[in-house]
Each structure stands twice: as structure tokens, then as C-alpha cells.
Structure 1
Amino acid sequence: MPSIRDKIIDAQNDSKIFAEFFAGIGLMRMGLENAGWNIAYANDIDPSKELMYKRHFNDEQNHFQLGDIHQIAGESIPKVNLATASFPCTDLSHAGRREGLAGKQSSAFWGFVRILDEMQENKPPIILLENVIGFLTSHNGKDFHSALTALNKLGYAVDAFIIDASHFVPQSRVRLFIVGKLESNDNIMEEKQLSFYESKIRPAKLANFICDHPEINWNITSLPPLPQREIQLSDIVENLPDTAAEWWSEDRVEYLLNQTFDRHRILLEEAKKGKKYTYFTAFRRIREGNSMAEVRSDGIAGCLRTPKGGSARQILIRSGKNKISVRLVSPRECARLMGADNYKITGNINRDLFGFGDAVCVPVVTWIAENYLNPLLIKLKANSENLVFNAS
């Protein structure tokens, strides 16, 4: 019987096997599955996310391992061709304490690095990391540099790019992605100018970082232009009747309007005169000691967050037909804003909102898979000794 490495590769998806770390509620998985990938392993530390994950996917095979990444042995991970890591952003975000990769939560990145190291010859040939753009500037770029050089030491040449989910869904969600390709020595840093790297997905700050660090083993790949979004904020809104309990009372609406900036109040009042509804979103923020409602009027929602406090809940404003109506964005609307329209909502509002606020945008991941990971895997198939086929 021929060995698995000797099998002729005919099936399109037989080598698209991946493991996801920091799996959350599984939106990375959804994005990859849309591009033909098959799950072999998933891990997260949060029991609530495990509940959502298992409820949605209802796998016959139990791919999900609940546990701290620092306690997972690399030798226990099945051989895959892609490993993803959407590790915690808490210590990297501009909204956090900026403790960086040494912080209590974001230091989980080093658990992922350790697992890759322990996998030894079974290290996946491709890795995909995702985090907030604050990762790029954390500790003046030292954390980003440390992360990339750590991946280099494991044998991965690296690439980095930035994508705003607003190209796909009506939500502003800017994220930094890193792709690592195993055993590449084709560093392309020779005599390249900034203009060579700078693009829509590699803005000046990232392009400068690439140019300023030729000691990093880079493998920069050209990507097609990002698409133009086809859906609008109004397309994701649930059609709740005016009598639904979710809509706020007139007094509560007026209280919110009194918290808005004058320019925002004018926009809402103008839209109120319209014969059709116009939708806005808002967050409450503290400005000079006062609670203010900052309204977004560009037709897209602000970045979804985890509901750790009242101000983290995003507000939906509907203005038109001589009325301004207000309520909180619902879990179903959050799912749609993440491109996970048919995700199975649990009914526990805080759990659902936390799951979506701490996830990746599904169509962004699909675009990366179709335009980057899949073509890269095809190239790697020429050397099938580095690949595994057929998820078990």
C-alpha cells in the first residue's frame, strides 16, 4: 500500500486541513470552511465560547479542546497544513493598558509559539495570526519585532498586512494579519523602496516597519485589491416592530439625544424629516468627565466590542418618518456585522455579544484564504512531504 505522501493529489480540498487556536466561537473556522478548509483541531480557554462553538457546529467529531494554551502539549496537536491564532488583544489594544506581549492575556502568544516548537517536524507549513493594529506599535514596535523574529526562529518567513472589515460588511473593524510560511529563505528585502511595500493593505506605518527591519526574514506577497462592500447598515438591521420591548422609551431617547454633540443632533434631526429610515450607530464615551454619545453617520457600525461595561454596547439609531427610535444592537445584528448571518444565537445576550465582539470577521478570513492561503498551499503541494492529507 502506498504511503500517504505518495498519494496523487486530485481532490481540491484534501490538503486544506487546519487547527485553530484561540478559536473563540468559531468564526475563523467559518471563514476558512467557506474557502474549502477542513477543521482538525480547535482550542480555547473560555467555557462560554466553547458552548457557542459546539452549539453552532454540532460536530460529530469533537474537535474542540477546552483549556489554557500554556497547558497544551505540542505533541498532542494533530498534523495540519495551517494553524491559526487570534490571540488575546487586551494588552495590545489602544483601549487597554498596553502591557504588550508581557501582559497577562496577550502573552498567550508565547504559548502558541511554544506549541509550534514542540510540534517539531510536524509544524504546519502555514500559519495565520490575527490581532488589533495596536500590535504593530506596542512598546514602540518591539513586541511586533519580537513576535516576528520568534516565528523566524521556528523556520517561518513572515508577511503582514492590514484589512478593514468595512470592505466586506458595514462595520469598521481594522485588524493586523501575519502569514508565516515554513522553511523559506527567499527574503525579498534587497534594495526595495518604501513604495514597493506601501499599499492599501500595507499602509505607510507597516511599510516603514518592513523597510526598517531587513533583519527579519520577510516573504511579502502581492494581493489583489480589496473588494467594495455590497451591503449597507440597513441590510443587517432586524425588522423589529415599533412596539417591541427593545426600542427605548421617548424619555430615554431624548436623554441620549441630549448627550450627542450638536453636529450629530443636527444630522439626526435632518434624517427625521426623511420619508425613509436612515440608520446610525453610536457608542457612549466619557469626554472631559461627561458621558457623551458619539454618533457614526457614515453608514457603517463602529467596531464591535466585548460587553464588559455599559458603554461597550453599541447603540442603533433609526431616524425618519418624523421619528427617532433607539435601541441596542442585537446579537443577531452583531452576527450579521461579522459576516456570520446564520450563526446559532444562544439567547444569552451577554454571552452572544461577548462571543461576537471578540471574534474575526468571516468574509475577511475567506478573502485571505482564497487570495493568499489557497494559492500558497498549491505551491507547497509540489513538496508534499511537508503536507498532510485528509483530516481525521
Structure 2
Amino acid sequence: MSKKKLHITVEDNIYDTISDLADQKKTSIQEIVNETLSQYISRINEDYEDDDSRFKFIDLFAGIGGMRIAFESVGGRCVFSSEWDKYSQKTYFSNHGDLPDGDITLIDERTVPNHDILVAGFPCQPFSIAGVSKKNSMGRNHGFMDKTQGTLFFDIVRILNEKRPKAFLLENVKNLKSHDKGNTFKIISETLREMNYDISYEVIDGKSFVPQHRERIFIIGFDKDYFGNEINYVFPDLPRSKIVLSNILEKNVDDKYTLSDKLWNYLQNYAAKHKAKGNGFGYGLADLNGTTRTLSARYYKDGSEILIPQKNKNPRRLTPRECARLQGFPEKFKIVVSNTQAYKQFGNSVVVPLIAHLAESIINHIDKMEYIEDERVII
């Protein structure tokens, strides 16, 4: 096959990702670019063909794609993703074949493809009451756009306002409701309602699906412009998990994950010092027949929140693969970054089967509301 030269310029982080992938696959950068462009063109062509997916969704603040795996597992098709961290982009590309768009603040909302559901695990930041008050004093109408300006939530608002998806799922730490003395959640909920979305929210523990105590707040919204005022969404019941920690542990683990005497002594002394002061700070020696503490992005530092007891040995950290399992990622999920980055990525991710459970409830509720509307039209 004849070939033609094409000169392209890419951002540094994209070049680094492509270069790393070329090294992993023992091929050239040119071959990676060719393969990526071929996949991209194939996806564009698919847009003009019959699409048998149940719904389309976009994946914002995508991380390594935990939300994507969940929504695809119930029949969704991802049509757009955004993630700024270059290491997460690398993992995302290796597992999903898409390189997410970078900094969401630079993305023009008009270029985002149409979609049915928006999903996002966004960072929480304080909103400036002073900024809103200043605009009021100047006689300027701030509205929901100005209220959220300067925060990453604003970028979700821009896209919701422009594309009007039927529904959305937002995920955050459980303390979002109390963040900044409740001001953050107040503005988020008021903003979404001002945009005429009916919202429901609930704090859910991932231990119903994985052997990990992990509480997160989920905000689910439905477009009242599309569905009308009778939304009546109720969060689904949760199953009772029978999986315990020992079920997800690897059989043969390298000694490099075992804590050194120096680190183990430090953690024990640290815990003893705080216990004497009446504090509960300290390491967490996990119950193999139960659930762990919450896996955090700082796990790479000392692994102290989840330590695995070992017979006649110091305890050990979880391996990156065990962290993936603790979050419910499938075994085929590729870990293509350093252990440090892998710990950060899984610690920042979501409990995949929990998200899939919510995704199924959202799409079922959409189907139910659209069926009721169809029946009204027929009558």
C-alpha cells in the first residue's frame, strides 16, 4: 500500500503518551499514530451507520475510565471523554482505545457530541459568595453561569446548558454536602435545578459490591424540559455482597510489597502516640474475612490505610492489581503505568459495579418515562 507523508503537531502530553505506547508495543511512533487515526476514522464512520447502543454518554473528569466501563456494561456508547492528567490519559488510551481530550476548561462545549447521559466525577472547589455579591452590587445578573465561574463544576454546567442531555450522573466525596460550610453543595444543587433538571442525591457505600468501605455522594438528574415535571426517580436497592477481602488477594506476592522494619516500626509508634492522646489515627490492618478502609490516592506513600497481615512477616501493601479488584475493575484491565501512578489512579477511581448498578437504574427510568409518554401520545 502506498503511503503519503503527513506533518502534525501535538501537545507534549499527547506525544509522551504515544511515545510510551510505542515503547510498550515495541513499535514505532508512526505505527501508533496510524493505528490511532484508523480507529478514530472507524468511529466517525460508525456515526453514519445504524447504532445499536441503548444510549450515548460522555465521560468527563474521566480518570482511567471506571465510569466508562460501567456505562458501557449496560449498553451505552461513549462518544466523548475528557481527562487532563497525562498518566491517566495513557491508561485510558491503553484500555479504551481513545485518548481523552485534555484540559476541560479549554474545550468548546459546542464541539461536544450530542449525548443522552453526562457522567462526571468532578473535583469539588469552594464557590465565591463574595464574587456573586459583588456582581449583585454592580447590578449584573450572575445566573447559574456566573455563580459557578472559576470552578470545574462550571465546565459541567456549560456542557449541560449547551447539549441538554436527558440525564446525568455526578460523583464526589461524601463530604461534598458539608464542604465550605454547605455552600458548595447549595450552589451545585441550586444551579442544576435552575437549569430545569430534577435532581436526587444519596451517599452510597461501595461495600455492597466490593470488599471496601467507600462512601461517595451521587447526584442524578433528569431533564424536566424533556420529561416534564413527573420524574419520581428513586435510587435502586443495593445487593448484599458476599465478597470478602481474601477473595480478591493475589496468591503469590513479591516481597517488595512487604513493609520494611523501619516503616512498620514507624507506623506502630505513630499509632501508639495518637492512641495515647485519645485519637484514632493510625494504620489499618485489614480483616481478610471482611472489608477494608477506603482506598485513597495517597496509598502509594506508605499503604497505611489498608495493610494485609502476613504470617511470620511484616504486613504488606496491596498490589496494583489488588487495588483494581478492590474497585471492581475487570481482570482484563491493563495497568501500564508505574506502581506509584497506578495507586493514585485506582485510589481516585470509582467502584465500577456500583456505577453500573446506578447506570442501569438511570437508563431503565428513562425508558419507563419515555414509554409512559408514548402511551399518552397514543391515547
- The question of whether the paired residues in 2 share the 8 Å contact of 1:18 and 1:82 is answered with yes
> Secondary structure in 2 aligned to 1:144?
helix
My pick for the range that moved more, 293-302 or 174-183, is 293-302
Note the residue ranges of structure 2 that are not aligned, 5 or more in a row: 1-49, 128-145, 375-379
My pick for the range that moved more, 17-26 or 133-142, is 133-142
Trace 1:82-93 onto structure 2 (pairs within 5 A).
82-89=117-124
C-alpha spacing 1:47/1:174, structure 2 compared with 1 (3 Å): same
1:98 corresponds in structure 2 to none
Say whether residues 1:340 and 2:352 are aligned partners: no
C-alpha spacing 1:51/1:287, structure 2 compared with 1 (3 Å): farther
Inter-partner Cα distance in structure 1 for 2:299 and 2:306: 15
Offset, 1:147 = 0.9
Inter-partner Cα distance in structure 2 for 1:65 and 1:346: 16
C-alpha spacing 1:383/1:15, structure 2 compared with 1 (3 Å): farther
My pick for the range that moved more, 375-384 or 226-235, is 375-384
Matched letter for residue 310 of structure 1 = K
1:380 corresponds in structure 2 to 370
Offset, 1:155 = 2.3
- The question of whether the paired residues in 1 share the 8 Å contact of 2:170 and 2:220 is answered with yes
> Secondary structure in 2 aligned to 1:294?
coil
Say whether residues 1:331 and 2:317 are aligned partners: no
1:281 corresponds in structure 2 to none
C-alpha distance after superposition, 1:168-222 (max 9, x if no partner): 10111101111111125536xxxxxxxxxxxxxxxxxxxxxxxxxxxxxxx5523
Inter-partner Cα distance in structure 1 for 2:156 and 2:88: 19
Say whether residues 1:158 and 2:170 are aligned partners: no
Note the residue ranges of structure 1 that are not aligned, 5 or more in a row: 1-10, 93-101, 188-218, 263-284, 385-392
For 2:165, which of 106, 119, 124 is the aligned residue?
124
More strand by share: 1
Relative contact order, higher structure (CA 8 A, sep 6+): 1
> Secondary structure in 2 aligned to 1:14?
coil
Identity, in percent, stands at 29
C-alpha distance after superposition, 1:19-58 (max 9, x if no partner): 111011000001111111111111111111110100112x
C-alpha distance after superposition, 1:220-245 (max 9, x if no partner): 5234421111211111212225x733
- The question of whether the paired residues in 1 share the 8 Å contact of 2:292 and 2:306 is answered with no
C-alpha spacing 1:157/1:315, structure 2 compared with 1 (3 Å): closer
Inter-partner Cα distance in structure 2 for 1:53 and 1:287: 45
1:307 corresponds in structure 2 to 298
Matched letter for residue 282 of structure 2 = A
For 2:229, which of 175, 186, 198 is the aligned residue?
186
Offset, 1:162 = 1.6
C-alpha spacing 1:146/1:220, structure 2 compared with 1 (3 Å): farther
For 1:28, which of 67, 72, 90 is the aligned residue?
67
Offset, 1:105 = 12
Trace 1:1-392 onto structure 2 (pairs within 5 A).
14-57=53-96, 59=97, 62=98, 64-89=99-124, 107-119=151-163, 123-182=164-223, 183=225, 184-186=227-229, 219-241=231-253, 244-249=255-260, 252-261=263-272, 293-296=282-285, 299-307=290-298, 310-311=301-302, 314-320=305-311, 323-342=312-331, 343-380=333-370
More helix by share: 2
C-alpha spacing 1:353/1:378, structure 2 compared with 1 (3 Å): same
Q: With structure 1 as the length reference, what TM-score do the two structures score?
A: 0.68
Matched letter for residue 346 of structure 1 = V
